[in-house]
């Protein structure tokens, strides 16, 4: 019972943050198109977001450890809320700043929340380490469900209610506020080891170069992500001229992703033993 209470406290903060993130997926390109920007200009905005995510991703673990995991989650809520608010502006530079803030927020989303959970699970509550996988697998399941629902929700506000492509970004803000408020009220602060940024990067680089398998895995992952990023940029301008409901299409993508995850879990189960080599 104590573990389940602890899990629920984590999900109350983490799941609204994920929902806010997914809501912004279907209509980002459409919004920039709605503001009459050219395809090349939109591409630069996307690159700003991706580059920002890479740069802040390098320092996010050190930043989160020094600032505190709870404060970092609250910072995520704040920066992502501002990122959503600036979508109301038609000024190109303001939108570019919003994309940079979006990159910072993404880096925090995929580092601060899990780091906070692992520390609390092991250090404060002393639950068995193998239970961490239970929490994260459930979070992954709900993440997929939320992603599917987010597409339909975005479509409802943007198309059905006729509020336009900026509406899903505005709907994200209350969820981000909710996540931040729950973190402030219900979470205790924890910190990581204060290592220098140069040492962190040096250790990572040493690991990358000393083990050929790590280098190959990183290369394969980078190639895969590059294909995904190209797809993320192109799917809206390809389908939108045909009148496709973007939110529903997005839900279809996420449902297919969830199906793929389920098939993978089935393939590596004891019944089929299709383990990666």
* Domain coordinates in residue numbering, the chain: 1-265
CA distance 210 to 232: 33
pLDDT of residue 100: 96
Taking Cα atoms as reference points, which of 35, 132, 140 lies closest to residue 89?
35
pLDDT of residue 20: 97
Predicted TM-score of the model (pTM)? 0.90
pLDDT of residue 277: 62
pLDDT of residue 275: 74
Domain 1-265 has CATH 1.20.1250.20: yes
**DSSP result, 133-192:** HHHHHHHHHHHHHHHHHHHHHHHIIIIIS---TTHHHHHHHHHHHHHHHHHHHHPPP---
Residues in the chain with pLDDT < 50?
A: none
pLDDT of residue 276: 67
CA distance 104 to 265: 31
């Amino acid at each position: 019972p104590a573990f389940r209470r602890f899990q629920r406290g984590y999900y109350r903060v983490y799941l609204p943050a994920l929902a806010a993130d997914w809501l912004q997926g279907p209509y980002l390109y459409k919004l920039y198109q709605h503001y009459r920007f050219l395809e090349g200009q939109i591409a630069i905005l996307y690159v700003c977001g991706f580059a920002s995510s890479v740069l802040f991703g390098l320092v996010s673990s050190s930043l989160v450890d020094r600032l505190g995991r709870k404060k970092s989650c609250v910072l995520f809520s704040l920066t992502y809320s501002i990122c959503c608010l600036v979508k109301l502006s038609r000024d190109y530079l303001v939108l570019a700043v919003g994309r940079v803030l979006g990159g910072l927020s993404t880096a925090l989303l995929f580092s601060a929340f899990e780091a906070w959970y692992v520390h609390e699970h092991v250090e404060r509550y002393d639950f068995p380490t193998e239970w961490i996988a239970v929490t994260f697998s459930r979070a992954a399941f709900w993440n997929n469900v939320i992603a599917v629902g987010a597409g339909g929700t975005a479509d409802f506000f943007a198309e059905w209610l006729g509020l336009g492509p900026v509406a899903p970004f505005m709907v994200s803000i209350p969820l981000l506020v909710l996540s931040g408020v729950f973190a402030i009220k219900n979470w205790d602060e924890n910190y990581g080891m204060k290592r220098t940024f140069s040492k962190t990067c040096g250790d990572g680089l040493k690991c990358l170069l000393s083990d050929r398998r790590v280098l190959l895995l990183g290369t394969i992952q980078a190639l895969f992500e590059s294909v995904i990023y190209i797809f993320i940029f192109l799917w809206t301008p390809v389908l939108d001229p045909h009148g496709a409901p973007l939110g529903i299409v997005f839900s279809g993508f996420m449902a297919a992703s969830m199906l793929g995850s389920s098939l993978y879990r089935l393939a590596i189960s004891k019944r089929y033993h299709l383990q990666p080599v």
